[in-house]
């Protein structure tokens, strides 16, 4: 598996040559490499007037002047006493990135401690860079340098006519265009190609701007209640003033946040502007998309399941200005919107808004910056906001809007915590305790439907040797294998290593291997055994592999073909099924006891969000939470639907720990195949940072180095340390001040994660 950020040390700045002349132009170019330099290249005469910032170019880089793709970020006059090397070619006919997006990506590179080129390369989807779905076309222009070396007067008349036609046109032409202008066949063009007198340029034509969305029947806006109307008024005020304002819309599950978004977007569309709506990938269901399509004439959708061709077509539709609303997952924050009026992030607490590869950005912070630059409002919506967002609103940095009631005055469902330590069935290893089994039967027999949540896939998540007490782990990762009964394999969920189930322990050789724990496969087995007359459907990444399977499964549940829906986090949020009268959390402790400062917060959010799937219809509903820790604050407050109580208690704990949101963090992860080398590099790097901080008297803490919670991953040993300071700028300045002093070896790689969420 390729590293997040590999250190490349052969990409050195290019040598300078002779003095630049007054009329020359230089292109400022950055590359998709972990280096901060911006390189200057001479723009050849035949490319002048064609190059604009935001286009990709090919230029010589590093030892051997290897042709390398980069991004033009500016055009200037050459400075200095020596001449620059020349660009080789322009790849894109039109800029892929606007000046606004160039500014945004430059900010990202500074904030997230990556290179500008890495940020630019991530922003533009592969399908757009490859012009997926379009035809490759060949263009020709005169190679003036080659023509200087020959006597043009001796060229055959037809070849001379081709050169003249190209010069008159002033731009590269296709063969058929040249033939028409020069009054010739393809023969003289081919002759000039053989002589090396033509520059050959490959470009792709415009993508087919087909509208990929199905047209949903149009529906009228819903009538807002008093709280919704007040929330909309606050948002519209910011829209009409054309000012940036971050608004935290804290609404309980089922309070009608989406309807507020839609009616705010309608205001934006009335101004001739466009809106971006970000939702978690798992919430990007046909139900969500149809809701927006039923209200607006043109909706574009951007998510990871699109093919390159589909993504390119959607990108072209958006950049042309023909789309009113862009609905998408994390990367849709970079959509090439021509006239941005509003950004909405629904379920802003979701960790999927943080990217875990370079550049490790958080869509919420990028959206905040983009909204500031465009002077437009940003709405953050959630029933369980992150403590960072909640604190910003409490401090007055953002504006808090509350929706405290469900629409139509529907009550929040009662939630009960069931202590499985006192349930004999759970103690003996069953997934479903007595109370939950009784509740399932009652709900289905009363005509309702049931959702059961368990965030562990597979059959048994632990393989353990009774003789020596060791877990059966993946040889390449520090992770216990999971038994997948349906595939008859013991698998690693990180690197996909798989073996036949071991009959003996690989450590002691004893035939005492046991399977422990409960995954979704085992839960499904138990349900079918206890409720053979009920239709049960499992939704996890094992069953939802085929394209369209997620939509098919939800349609079956919506249509009443399924009595019990069970699954992982993909069913926990964004689903609105009025006939669901029971939600069961099979094991609320899977996240609670992880070594992570956000474990309690995530547990509370998970229970609250899953509970919100119940009681959305007139039948009402209830929630049962099976846990062995019913007295934990996260569980206790979630059972009471008390976000304010949880936030207050957890923030006291965070302040005592000097943890976010009362400080800013950056995590540095090092990895290599030799554990001792990784440890040595981590200690050297940490010491350089400590010395620099002491010398400059920077108020900062360094925690570690120490082994990462998962010390071995995909054959690589991993160690990490954390930098903590009151402000992110302190960490960024310190890091950049020592960047050139940090140890660099080909055997140990490292990555910096600013504002980390994943601590594994």
pLDDT digits (tens, 9 = 90+) for 424-474: 888 888 899 999 999 999 999 999 999 999 988 888 888 888 888 778 888
133 inside domain: no
Tell me, yes or no, whether 531 and 421 share the same domain. yes
**Per-residue pLDDT for 697 more than 60?**
yes
Q: How far is CA 271 from CA 132, 264, 674, in A?
A: 33, 11, 59
Among the ranges given (17-26, 157-166, 474-483), the one the predictor scored with the smallest mean pLDDT: 17-26
Question: Measured between alpha carbons, how far is 316 from 141 in angstroms, rounded to an integer?
Answer: 27
The DSSP letter of residue 136 is: E
Tell me, yes or no, whether 503 and 615 share the same domain. no
Tell me, yes or no, whether 507 and 530 share the same domain. no
Q: Greater confidence, 69 or 137?
A: 69
Q: What percent of the chain has pLDDT over 90?
A: 54
- Give tens-digit pLDDT for 529-551: 999 999 999 988 888 777 777 77
Full DSSP string of 539-553? ESTTT--STTHHHHH
301 inside domain: yes
Tell me, yes or no, whether 437 and 581 share the same domain. yes
The last residue of one of the domains, among 74, 89, 124, is 124
**Per-residue pLDDT for 212 more than 70?**
no
**Per-residue pLDDT for 204 more than 70?**
no
Average pLDDT, the chain: 87
Question: Measured between alpha carbons, how far is 287 from 627 in angstroms, rounded to an integer?
Answer: 31
**Per-residue pLDDT for 330 more than 50?**
yes
Confidence of residue 1 (pLDDT cuts 50, 70, 90): very low
Full DSSP string of 398-465? SEEEEE-S-GGGPPPPPEEEEEGGG-HHHHTT-SS-HHHHHHHHHHHHTT-EEEEE----SSBSEEEE
Q: What is the residue range of 161's domain?
A: 145-204
Give CA 750 to chain center in angstroms: 20
Which two three-digit tokens encode residue 96?
């892929």
- Give tens-digit pLDDT for 585-616: 999 888 887 878 899 999 999 888 888 888 77
Tell me, yes or no, whether 163 and 282 share the same domain. no
**Per-residue pLDDT for 215 more than 70?**
no
- Give tens-digit pLDDT for 554-579: 888 888 899 999 988 877 766 778 88
Of these ranges, 255-259, 281-285, 742-746, the one predicted with the greatest mean pLDDT is 255-259
Cβ-based burial of 100 (10 A; exposed 0-12, middle 13-18, buried ≥19): middle
pLDDT at residue 133, as a whole number: 66
**Per-residue pLDDT for 214 more than 60?**
no
Of these ranges, 267-271, 308-312, 477-481, the one predicted with the greatest mean pLDDT is 267-271
- Give tens-digit pLDDT for 96-126: 999 999 999 999 999 999 999 999 999 998 8
Tell me, yes or no, whether 36 and 111 share the same domain. yes
Give CA 387 to chain center in angstroms: 20
Tell me, yes or no, whether 435 and 574 share the same domain. yes
475-497 mean pLDDT: 86
The last residue of one of the domains, among 91, 124, 157, is 124
Single out the residue of 629, 607, 615 nearest to residue 581, CA to CA. 615
* 247 in Cβ contact with 397 (< 8 Å): no
11 inside domain: no
Tell me, yes or no, whether 186 and 242 share the same domain. no
| Cis ω for the linkage preceding 359 (within 30 of 0) | yes
In sign, the C-alpha dihedral spanning 380, 384, 388, 393 is positive
pLDDT at residue 263, as a whole number: 96
HEC states along 73-125? EEEECCCCCCCCCECCEECCCCCCCCHHHHHHHHHHHHHCCCCHHHHHHHHCC
213 inside domain: no
pLDDT at residue 7, as a whole number: 37
Tell me, yes or no, whether 329 and 308 share the same domain. yes
Single out the residue of 662, 664, 645, 646 nearest to residue 654, CA to CA. 662
Q: What CATH code is carried by the domain that includes residue 96?
A: 3.40.1440.60
Q: Greater confidence, 135 or 257?
A: 257
Which two three-digit tokens encode residue 755?
């504002």
Tell me, yes or no, whether 298 and 234 share the same domain. yes
Give CA 520 to chain center in angstroms: 26
**Per-residue pLDDT for 743 more than 80?**
no
Backbone angles phi, psi at 106, to 5 degrees: -65, -40
Which stretches of 456-563 are assigned E, i.e. beta strand?
Answer: 462-465, 482-484, 489-491, 498-499, 513-516, 536-539
* Contact partners, residue 193, CB within 8 Å, separation at least 6: 140, 200
**Per-residue pLDDT for 269 more than 70?**
yes
pLDDT at residue 135, as a whole number: 64
pLDDT at residue 472, as a whole number: 83
**Per-residue pLDDT for 726 more than 80?**
yes
21 inside domain: no
* 223 in Cβ contact with 210 (< 8 Å): no
Q: What percent of the chain has pLDDT over 70?
A: 93
* 669 in Cβ contact with 718 (< 8 Å): yes
Q: What CATH code is carried by the domain that includes residue 747?
A: 3.30.70.600
Give CA 27 to chain center in angstroms: 31
* 515 in Cβ contact with 488 (< 8 Å): no
The count of C-alpha atoms lying within 13 angstroms of the C-alpha of 152, restricted to the half-sphere facing its C-beta, is: 14
How many domains, in total, are found in the chain?
6
Confidence of residue 237 (pLDDT cuts 50, 70, 90): very high
Which two three-digit tokens encode residue 738?
């020592």
Q: How far is CA 717 from CA 103, 598, 693, 704, in A?
A: 37, 24, 28, 16
Question: Measured between alpha carbons, how far is 669 from 731 in angstroms, rounded to an integer?
Answer: 15
Tell me, yes or no, whether 75 and 88 share the same domain. yes
Confidence of residue 213 (pLDDT cuts 50, 70, 90): very low
Of these ranges, 34-48, 140-154, 384-398, the one predicted with the greatest mean pLDDT is 384-398
Q: Facing residues of 701 across strands?
A: 724
Q: What CATH code is carried by the domain that includes residue 325?
A: 3.40.50.300
19 inside domain: no
261 inside domain: yes
12 inside domain: no
Among the ranges given (209-223, 552-566, 643-657), the one the predictor scored with the smallest mean pLDDT: 209-223
Q: How far is CA 394 from CA 70, 200, 248, 700, in A?
A: 44, 60, 10, 25
Helix (H) / strand (E) containing 271? none
Please, where are the H alpha helices in 241-344? 257-270, 286-293, 308-319
pLDDT at residue 283, as a whole number: 64
Q: Facing residues of 402 across strands?
A: 250
The last residue of one of the domains, among 655, 677, 711, is 655
- Give tens-digit pLDDT for 282-312: 666 677 888 899 999 999 998 877 888 888 8
Tell me, yes or no, whether 275 and 353 share the same domain. yes
**Per-residue pLDDT for 169 more than 90?**
no
Cβ-based burial of 387 (10 A; exposed 0-12, middle 13-18, buried ≥19): buried
**Per-residue pLDDT for 206 more than 80?**
no
Please, where are the H alpha helices in 112-256? 116-123, 126-129, 144-148, 157-169, 175-182, 187-194, 226-240
The CA dihedral of 541, 547, 549, 554, to the nearest 10 degrees, is 100
């Amino acid at each position: 598996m390729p590293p997040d950020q590999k250190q490349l040390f052969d990409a050195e700045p290019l040598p300078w040559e002779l003095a630049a002349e007054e009329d020359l132009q230089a292109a400022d170019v950055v590359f998709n490499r972990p280096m901060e330099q911006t390189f200057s290249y001479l723009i050849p005469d035949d490319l002048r007037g064609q190059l604009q910032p935001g286009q990709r170019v090919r230029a010589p880089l590093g030892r051997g002047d290897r042709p390398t793709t980069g991004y033009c970020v500016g055009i200037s006059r050459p400075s200095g006493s020596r001449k620059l090397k020349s660009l080789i070619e322009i790849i894109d006919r039109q800029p892929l990135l606007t000046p606004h997006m160039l500014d945004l990506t430059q900010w990202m590179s500074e904030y997230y401690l990556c290179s500008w080129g890495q940020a630019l390369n991530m922003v533009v989807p592969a399908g757009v860079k490859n012009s997926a779905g379009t035809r490759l076309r060949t263009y020709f222009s005169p190679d003036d340098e080659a023509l200087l070396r020959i006597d043009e007067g001796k060229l055959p008349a037809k070849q001379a006519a081709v050169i003249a036609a190209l010069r008159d046109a002033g731009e590269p032409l296709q063969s058929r265009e040249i033939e028409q202008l020069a009054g010739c066949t393809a023969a003289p063009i081919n002759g000039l190609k053989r002589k090396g007198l033509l520059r050959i340029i490959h470009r792709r034509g415009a993508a087919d701007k087909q509208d990929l969305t199905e047209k949903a029947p149009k529906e009228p806006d819903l009538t807002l209640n008093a709280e919704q109307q007040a929330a909309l008024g606050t948002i519209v005020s910011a829209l009409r003033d054309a000012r940036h304002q971050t608004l935290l819309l804290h609404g309980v599950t089922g309070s009608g946040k989406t309807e507020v978004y839609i009616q705010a977007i309608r205001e934006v569309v009335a101004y001739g502007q466009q809106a971006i709506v970000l939702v978690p990938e798992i919430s990007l269901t046909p139900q969500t998309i149809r809701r927006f399509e039923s209200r607006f004439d043109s909706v574009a959708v951007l998510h990871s399941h699109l093919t390159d061709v589909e993504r390119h077509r959607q990108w072209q539709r958006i950049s042309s200005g023909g789309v009113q609303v862009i609905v998408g997952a994390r990367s849709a924050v970079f959509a090439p919107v021509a006239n941005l009026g509003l950004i909405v992030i629904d379920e802003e607490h979701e960790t999927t808004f943080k990217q875990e590869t370079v550049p490790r950005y958080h869509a919420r912070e990028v959206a905040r910056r983009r909204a500031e630059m465009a002077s437009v409002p940003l709405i953050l919506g959630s029933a369980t906001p992150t403590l960072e967002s909640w604190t910003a609103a409490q401090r007055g940095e953002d504006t808090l809007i509350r929706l405290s009631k469900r629409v139509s005055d529907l009550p929040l469902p009662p939630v009960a915590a069931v202590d499985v330590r006192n349930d004999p069935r759970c103690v003996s290893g069953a997934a479903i305790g007595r109370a939950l089994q009784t509740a399932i039967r009652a709900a289905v027999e009363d005509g309702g439907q049931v959702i059961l949540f368990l965030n562990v896939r597979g059959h048994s998540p632990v393989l353990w040797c009774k003789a020596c007490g060791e877990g059966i782990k993946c040889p390449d990762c520090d992770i216990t294998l999971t038994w997948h009964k349906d595939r008859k394999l013991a698998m690693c969920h990180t690197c996909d290593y798989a073996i036949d189930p071991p009959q003996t322990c690989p450590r002691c050789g004893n035939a005492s291997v046991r399977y422990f724990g409960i995954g979704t496969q085992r839960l499904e087995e138990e349900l079918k055994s206890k409720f053979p007359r009920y239709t049960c459907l499992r939704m996890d990444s094992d069953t939802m592999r085929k394209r369209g399977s997620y939509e098919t499964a939800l349609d079956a549940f919506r249509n009443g073909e399924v009595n019990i829906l069970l699954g992982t986090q993909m069913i926990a949020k964004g689903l609105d099924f009025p006939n669901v009268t029971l939600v069961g959390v099979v094991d609320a402790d899977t996240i609670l006891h992880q070594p992570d400062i956000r474990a309690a917060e995530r547990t509370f959010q998970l229970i609250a969000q899953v509970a919100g799937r119940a009681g959305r219809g007139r039948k009402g509903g209830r929630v049962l939470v099976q846990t062995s820790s019913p007295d934990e604050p996260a569980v206790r407050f979630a059972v009471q639907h008390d976000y304010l109580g949880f936030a207050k208690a957890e923030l006291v704990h965070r302040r005592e720990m000097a943890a976010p949101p009362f400080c800013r963090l950056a995590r540095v992860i090092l990895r290599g195949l030799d554990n001792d080398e990784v440890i040595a590099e981590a200690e050297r790097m940490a010491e350089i940072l400590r010395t620099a901080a002491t010398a400059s008297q920077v108020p900062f803490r360094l925690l570690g180095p120490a082994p990462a919670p998962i010390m071995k991953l995909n054959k690589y040993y991993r160690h990490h340390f954390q930098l903590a300071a009151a402000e992110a700028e302190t960490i960024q300045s310190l890091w950049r001040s020592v960047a050139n002093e940090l140890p660099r070896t080909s055997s140990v790689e490292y990555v910096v994660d600013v504002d980390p969420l994943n601590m594994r």
